[in-house]
Structure 1
Amino acid sequence: MTTRRHVLGLGAAVAAGSVLAPTPALADYTTRVDPARGYGRWQGWGASLSWWANVFGRDSTLADIFYTTRWVRYHGSVLPGLGLNVVRYNLGASMWQPAWPGGPRMVASPNLPAFRKMQGYWVNWLSSDPADPDSWNWSNDAEQRAMLRHAHTRGADVFQMFSVSPIWWMCRNHNPSGAADGGENLQDRYQRQHARYIATVARYARDHWGIRFDSVEPFNEPSRGGHKANGRAEGCYIGALPDRPVQQRIIHHLRDELDSRGLGDVAIAASDELSYRRAGYTWTNMATLNTRRLVGQVNTHGYQYDDDGPARSALYDNVRASGKRLWQSEYGEQYEHGLYLAYHVALDLRRLHPTAWCYWQPVDGQITDPATGHRLSWGLLKAVYSFDRTRKAGSLGEPDPYPGTDPYVANKYFVLAQYTRHIRPGMRIIDSGSRSTVAAYDALRRRLVLVTVRGNTPQRVTYDLSRFATVGNVVRRRVTDADPGYRIGRQYAAVPAVPVRGKRLAVDFSANSVQSIEIDNVRP
């Protein structure tokens, strides 16, 4: 999670240009798809529930949009449901009530709006018994839990709980946004209690909510150093020394606490660092206290915009050597056209090889870029949130959208649909031969899926399918235009089929577009 308004600057533009911009050598090109080179079973696509579900968690239409593949009516449009199946639940660190009547209260950042205060459950340190009503309040966080249930009833089947900060009273300054200087803020004596809190909620969710968390994550961007007492979100720095000893101790405690509650099947995910490079550094140093054996899954965020592949590949090689799963657990940026989104999905699945890919904030507001005057939108759907510190509120839509854009839906929603609706859980990601293309194979349906992003000139791409034993001739295509000029074009539009000729498929791409291609009756 990040509250910084990242800008894709010169480094990112250069990296994006190497994939998307035209060069004489890539005017038209052929790429060979290789089913013999695979990168594991695809678990799915997802998003975090905070902060949007803290306001809109009871909205069943949003649940249909995100967690089904139905066509859903939404403010005058009919949207193709994204079919997300991975849900990341934010275990809150904030609380409105005091530790006890007249007792100490949470110290809130003056810049922390109410909609970003994610409510926790453990009221005070007097009792760790979740049945004690004086120490636990299970009615908190009702809105986020409502969307959790909505997702579950609509078929979401991979659930992860993550902690952005220890609950407020475990923090040295009682402020879950961070220390004044951005340093360590978890009290030493509460390292095990932090682990106990996570494990207790995971057990309670299984027994009372009907939610089985597949994994739990005790940290969020723990070594970033930007979590401060005057911050705009919850956060906690945990990682002062090179070998991350506090992180490692908490992971050992968490494994013990999970096992003691009969949750041996729940994996620990770590450490959700800000970038691929930092994730690799942390994972390497997890070996010092024999901690990597306790981690079932490595999570990383994707805010390293200026990397063209090496850091992704290095992290993948490091994690693969340890035999662990790897997720890209959080990505976001502010360009609503979706071209950069497609570029990063393509690079992640080509170089990082995660088994799941998650967007950060699917419902978010807009800001204005002072350099260009463009409205910048982090969300897939647009919203306006109140920044009141005591009352959480928001409304869907943007009352003053940038000219040529939709007031409710960012174009990158449709770009993401090109991937999520076609590359489905259970498929196998295979080698596409190209950085611009993601290839996936559905063994049950004998279906090959190709999703390709094109840059700022038209291009013909020929897919060489000669390494498949048989290739059918049933081809379906969908296309979304991702115009950096913010002009609405085709949005997940069906386009005519093209024939497969001698195990070669030639497809014409218009500039700044993303196409999804499905071919049936394909056998490796």
Structure 2
Amino acid sequence: MRSHTTLLALALAARLALGQNTTTFVPSTNFGTWEGWGTSLAWWAKAFGNQAALADVFFTLNTVTFNGHTLPGLGLNIVRYNAGATSKNVDPDGDSIQLPSTMIPSREMDTFWLNWNNTDPTSTSWTWTVDANQRNMLTLAVARGAIAELFSNSPVWWMTYNLNPAGSTDGSSDNLESWNYDQHAIYLANIAARAKQSWGVTFASVEAFNEPSATYWVGPSGTQEGCHFDVSTMSTVIPLLRTELNSRGLTSTIVSSSDEETYDLATSTFNGLSSTAKSTIARVNVHGYQYGGGRRDTLYSTVHAAGKKIWNSEYGEGDATGAQLASNLILDFVWLHPTAWVYWQVLDVQGWGLIAADNDAVTTGAVAQKYFVLAQFTRHIRPGMTILNSGSAWTVAAYDSSAQKLVIVAVNTAAAQTLAFDLSAFSKPGTSGALVQRWATQIGSSGNQYVAFNDTFLSGSKFSTSFGQNVIMTFEVTGVAL
């Protein structure tokens, strides 16, 4: 089966051959209200969570100076906080954590629950002073308007069969002890309650798993926290989590699941969950590591038929040029129809990070071109907008009804050409002669970095612009009515 990326390339080539370089929008079809853009805090916030300037870079639309760079703030409004699984204390049986020598220190996330003696979060079995940097960045993000999700990479080490939060011995076995199913739910619910009471943070959602069907969470050679869960185990834990949240008055905090690595796994897992677990979940989270492959459309149709929303809750790759990011983001909009999209590590090693960073040495480096590619989306497609059917495999469209504004993000990977946009299907396609503001970024190792232009105008219900090869542009058309 051909990948979506291959199909996209073929579609673009066919359009060029036929001279079909006009996007004609289909505003009668939409894919829901956009909830936003985000990032996970583990692991970069453990290292850099005390830097307020980074909160401005990532969670505002301000122009921010950071490390000698003047950057357009990305305006992320979703932050995912990781409930850690690691501590160095001895448990009541005299056992201690069995961390592998391969574990990367910056990926050891502190747990608040030290032992099973007491479920009361005010008892000495709990500590709330750890993980200060990640908690600080969480509150900085929320203070700037972000909504928060609590997620878990692994249950606390003492809840696991092998006392190793990096995974089971073989990677394919459940590592959460069966008698600790409810303990895992209690842990997450207590963090959510504490955050509301003491941190000024109300988690909008809680996710108990991270890539749970994967078999690469092999504890003895693990480099990060992780855990395999069978679908039957997920079906047990999900209702328990709902009960624990409700018992703490967190009835408005939804349960999301299951953060599978790929679109196809997410479909399989959702279909395999019990009816009780399915009814408990308010949203399906999926990661984007299948890139150009997999059946995004099947996952969407399955989840949509069940009345659930979808978030792409984690995406990342090592391409600093932004080419893969732009391609996969557009594929998500065309086929998956998520209502939110989350980049994994905004600060990470060269390529993976939007800004290069070493989380262990706590140093930062170059701003990747992909930062400015992502800005084309995040600064313009804003929460509350309606995602429309663009009628194109290379264009995304969003509509702001209150401002009567149409936002268009388009990418050209082919040879330089003129691309046109036809708004005639709108009841009011703007005013002929009006300015269409545009912003452009060169996909690659250099070139334009989110540069604004005021040189494009509506002609009747259409406008056109010359695109160089590997250029992404954003347009804002005002006075548009559905």
TM-score, length-scaled by structure 2? 0.96
Check if 1:379 corresponds to 2:366. no
8 Å Cα contact 2:289-2:315 kept in structure 1: yes
For 1:296, the equivalent position in structure 2 comes to: 282
Rounded to whole Å, the distance in 2 between the matches of 1:225 and 1:270 is: 18
8 Å Cα contact 2:263-2:287 kept in structure 1: yes
For 2:128, the equivalent position in structure 1 comes to: 138
Rounded to whole Å, the distance in 2 between the matches of 1:115 and 1:349 is: 33
SS of residue in 1 equivalent to 2:179: helix
For 2:385, the equivalent position in structure 1 comes to: 427
Rounded to whole Å, the distance in 2 between the matches of 1:447 and 1:223 is: 42
Matches within 5 A, 1:245-324: 245-286=232-273, 288-307=274-293, 311-324=295-308
For 2:322, the equivalent position in structure 1 comes to: 338
Deviation of 1:458 after TM superposition, in Å, equals: 1.2
Deviation of 1:302 after TM superposition, in Å, equals: 0.4
Deviation of 1:462 after TM superposition, in Å, equals: 1.4
Which of 190, 193, 210 is residue 200 of structure 2 equivalent to? Answer: 210
AA of the residue aligned to 1:85: N
AA of the residue aligned to 2:204: D
Could you report, residue by residue, the CA deviation over 1:479-516 in whole angstroms, capped at 9, with x for unpaired residues?
00002xx2x10000112331211211212211001000
**Unaligned segments of structure 2, at least 5 residues:** none
Rounded to whole Å, the distance in 2 between the matches of 1:22 and 1:511 is: 16
Could you report, residue by residue, the CA deviation over 1:216-240 in whole angstroms, capped at 9, with x for unpaired residues?
000000001110111111000001x
8 Å Cα contact 1:90-1:162 kept in structure 2: yes
For 2:363, the equivalent position in structure 1 comes to: 395
8 Å Cα contact 1:479-1:492 kept in structure 2: yes
CA change 1:26–1:453 in 2 (3 A) is farther
8 Å Cα contact 1:28-1:460 kept in structure 2: no
Rounded to whole Å, the distance in 1 between the matches of 2:442 and 2:152 is: 37
Check if 1:356 corresponds to 2:356. no
Rounded to whole Å, the distance in 1 between the matches of 2:18 and 2:440 is: 21
For 1:460, the equivalent position in structure 2 comes to: 418
SS of residue in 2 equivalent to 1:225: coil
Could you report, residue by residue, the CA deviation over 1:163-182 in whole angstroms, capped at 9, with x for unpaired residues?
11000000111100001111
Of 266-275 and 68-77, the range deviating more from structure 2: 68-77
Rounded to whole Å, the distance in 2 between the matches of 1:227 and 1:516 is: 40
Rounded to whole Å, the distance in 2 between the matches of 1:236 and 1:195 is: 15
Which of 463, 474, 477 is residue 438 of structure 2 equivalent to? Answer: 477
Deviation of 1:289 after TM superposition, in Å, equals: 4.3
For 1:189, the equivalent position in structure 2 comes to: 179
AA of the residue aligned to 1:363: L
CA change 1:19–1:125 in 2 (3 A) is farther
Which of 159, 164, 172 is residue 175 of structure 1 equivalent to? Answer: 164
Matches within 5 A, 1:105-124: 105-124=96-115
SS of residue in 1 equivalent to 2:279: helix
8 Å Cα contact 1:22-1:456 kept in structure 2: no
Of 19-28 and 314-323, the range deviating more from structure 2: 19-28
Rounded to whole Å, the distance in 2 between the matches of 1:358 and 1:169 is: 30
AA of the residue aligned to 1:427: M
For 2:155, the equivalent position in structure 1 comes to: 166
Rounded to whole Å, the distance in 1 between the matches of 2:233 and 2:272 is: 12
Could you report, residue by residue, the CA deviation over 1:79-128 in whole angstroms, capped at 9, with x for unpaired residues?
0000000011111111133336x942211121111100011100000000
Could you report, residue by residue, the CA deviation over 1:302-352 in whole angstroms, capped at 9, with x for unpaired residues?
001232xx6111111111111111100000011100011011111101111
Rounded to whole Å, the distance in 2 between the matches of 1:298 and 1:451 is: 26
Rounded to whole Å, the distance in 2 between the matches of 1:456 and 1:462 is: 15
Check if 1:219 corresponds to 2:209. yes
SS of residue in 1 equivalent to 2:295: helix
Deviation of 1:21 after TM superposition, in Å, equals: 5.8
Rounded to whole Å, the distance in 2 between the matches of 1:167 and 1:222 is: 15
Root-mean-square deviation (CA, aligned residues, Å) is 1.6
8 Å Cα contact 1:441-1:449 kept in structure 2: yes
Rounded to whole Å, the distance in 2 between the matches of 1:69 and 1:257 is: 37
Rounded to whole Å, the distance in 2 between the matches of 1:482 and 1:18 is: 20
For 1:92, the equivalent position in structure 2 comes to: 84
SS of residue in 2 equivalent to 1:211: coil
For 1:152, the equivalent position in structure 2 comes to: 142
8 Å Cα contact 2:59-2:144 kept in structure 1: yes
Could you report, residue by residue, the CA deviation over 1:120-163 in whole angstroms, capped at 9, with x for unpaired residues?
1000000000010x20000111110010011011121x210001
SS of residue in 2 equivalent to 1:214: strand
For 1:73, the equivalent position in structure 2 comes to: 65
Amino-acid identity (%):
42
8 Å Cα contact 1:22-1:455 kept in structure 2: no
Matches within 5 A, 1:407-422: 408-422=366-380
AA of the residue aligned to 1:176: P
8 Å Cα contact 1:39-1:430 kept in structure 2: yes
AA of the residue aligned to 2:193: R
Rounded to whole Å, the distance in 2 between the matches of 1:13 and 1:499 is: 32
AA of the residue aligned to 1:502: G
| Displaced runs of 4 or more, over 2 A | 10-28, 96-100
CA change 1:19–1:232 in 2 (3 A) is farther
**Unaligned segments of structure 1, at least 5 residues:** 1-9, 367-376, 387-392, 398-407
8 Å Cα contact 1:15-1:306 kept in structure 2: no
SS of residue in 1 equivalent to 2:64: strand
Check if 1:237 corresponds to 2:225. no
SS of residue in 2 equivalent to 1:498: strand
Deviation of 1:278 after TM superposition, in Å, equals: 0.5
8 Å Cα contact 1:419-1:516 kept in structure 2: yes
Rounded to whole Å, the distance in 1 between the matches of 2:306 and 2:455 is: 43
SS of residue in 2 equivalent to 1:69: coil
AA of the residue aligned to 2:400: D
Deviation of 1:61 after TM superposition, in Å, equals: 1.1
Deviation of 1:464 after TM superposition, in Å, equals: 1.2
Check if 1:49 corresponds to 2:41. yes
AA of the residue aligned to 2:356: K
Deviation of 1:290 after TM superposition, in Å, equals: 2.8
Rounded to whole Å, the distance in 1 between the matches of 2:337 and 2:34 is: 10
